[in-house]
Amino acid sequence: MKSTVFALTALLSPALAAPTARATKVQYAGVNIAGFDFGCATDGTCSLTGTSKPYDIVSGANALGQMNHFVKDDTLNTFRLPVGWQFLTNGQLGGQLNSNNAGQYDRLVQGCLNSGAALCIIDIHNYARWNGKIVGQGGPTNAQLADLWKQLATKYGKNSKIAFGVMNEPHDVPDIKAWAATVQEVVTAIRSAGATSNIILLPGNNWTSAETYVSSGSAEALAAVTNPDNSTSNLIMDVHKYLDTDNSGTHTECVKDNIDNAFKPLADWLRTNKRQAMLTESGGGNTASCQKYMCSQIQYLNQNSDVYLGYTGWAAGGFAQSYELNETPTQNGNSWTDTSLVKSCIVGAWKGA
Ligand X SMILES: *[C@@H]1O[C@H](CO)[C@@H](O)[C@H](O)[C@H]1NC(C)=O
The yes-or-no answer on residue 169 being catalytic is yes
- To the nearest 5 percent, what fractions of the chain are helix, strand and coil? 40, 20, 45
Nearer to ligand X, 151 or 212 (CB): 212
* Residue 188 binds ligand X (CB under 6 A): no
Q: Which residues contact 229 (CB under 8 A, 6 or more apart)?
A: none
CB of 153 to ligand X, least distance (A): 19
Residue 212 binding ligand X, by CB under 6 A: yes
Count interface residues toward ligand X (CB under 6 A).
8
The residue among 45 and 216 lying less far from ligand X, judged by its C-beta, is: 216
Which residues, in sequence order, are CB contacts of 180 under 8 Å at separation 6+?
A: 221, 222, 224, 225
Cα–Cα distance, 35 to 258 (Å, whole number): 27
Q: Distance between CA atoms of 19 and 310, rounded to whole angstroms? A: 17
Q: Half-sphere exposure of residue 283, counting CA atoms within 13 Å on the CB side?
A: 25
Distance CA 181, CA 199 (A): 19
Catalytically annotated residue among 220, 281, 324, 327: 281
209 belongs to the binding site for ligand X (CB under 6 A): yes
Q: Closer CB to ligand X, residue 115 or residue 205?
A: 205
Q: Which of 315, 282, 206, 249 is nearest to 26 (CA)?
A: 282
Is the preceding peptide bond at 315 cis, omega within 30 degrees of 0?
yes
Q: How far apart are CA 134 and CA 136, in angstroms?
A: 6
Binding of ligand X at residue 291 (CB under 6 A)?
A: no
Segment lying near ligand X (by CB under 6 A), choices 13-21, 44-52, 184-192, 204-212: 204-212
Nearest to ligand X of 147, 244 (CB atom): 244
Spatial distance between the Cα atoms of 233 and 226, rounded to a whole number of angstroms: 8
Nearest in space to 281 (alpha carbons), one of 28, 27, 32, 82: 32
Nearer to ligand X, 57 or 181 (CB): 181
Min separation Cβ 40 and ligand X, Å: 21
Stretch of 126-134, 143-151, 211-219, 321-329 contacting ligand X, by CB under 6 A: 211-219
Which lies closer to ligand X via its Cβ, residue 226 or residue 305? 226
Residue from 32, 89, 151, 206 touching ligand X (CB under 6 A): that is 206
Near ligand X in 220-239, by CB under 6 A: 229-230
Q: How far apart are CA 155 and CA 149, in angstroms?
A: 10
Q: x/- binding map, residues 79-118, to ligand X, per CB under 6 A?
A: ----------------------------------------
Among residues 169, 185, 211, 327, the one annotated as catalytic is 169
Q: What mask, x for binding ligand X by CB under 6 A, covers residues 247 to 286?
A: x---------------------------------------
Distance, in Å, from the CA atom of 289 to the CA atom of 340, rounded to the nearest integer, reads 12
Residues involved in catalysis: 169, 281
- The site for ligand X (CB under 6 A) is made up of 206, 209, 211-212, 216, 229-230, 247
